[in-house]
Amino acid sequence: MRSFKKNQYFKKRRFDSDGNLTEKICNHCKNWKSSSGFYQNKSLMDGFSDNCFDCEDNRTIESQSIDIITNKNGF
């Protein structure tokens, strides 16, 4: 199982000759984006969020609009 996760990790990321992350696939939109197109997240192995800026921002806007429609009691 461990080698499967390792293979999946490297299929979704591209590195330069020094081993620095240059590009990765966004988990939401499935497009290759530069590593500068992701928020930093030190808790993840590569140090970047799994979703790009655009997808993260859209998800935040969607969740805020749902909160505006419903109050805390769900009405």
CATH of the domain at 63: 3.30.60.130
Residue 58 lies in a domain: yes
Residue 42 lies in a domain: yes
- Domain span holding position 60: 2-69
Residue 23 lies in a domain: yes
> Is residue 72 classed exposed, middle or buried when 0-12, 13-18 and 19+ CB atoms within 10 A define those classes?
exposed
The count of domains in the chain is: 1
Residue 75 lies in a domain: no
What is the pLDDT tens value at each position of the chain, 75 positions in all?
Answer: 477 878 888 888 999 999 889 999 999 999 999 999 999 999 988 899 999 999 988 877 777 666 555 656 655
| Residue 60 β-bridge partners | none
Residue 74 lies in a domain: no
pTM of the full predicted structure?
0.69
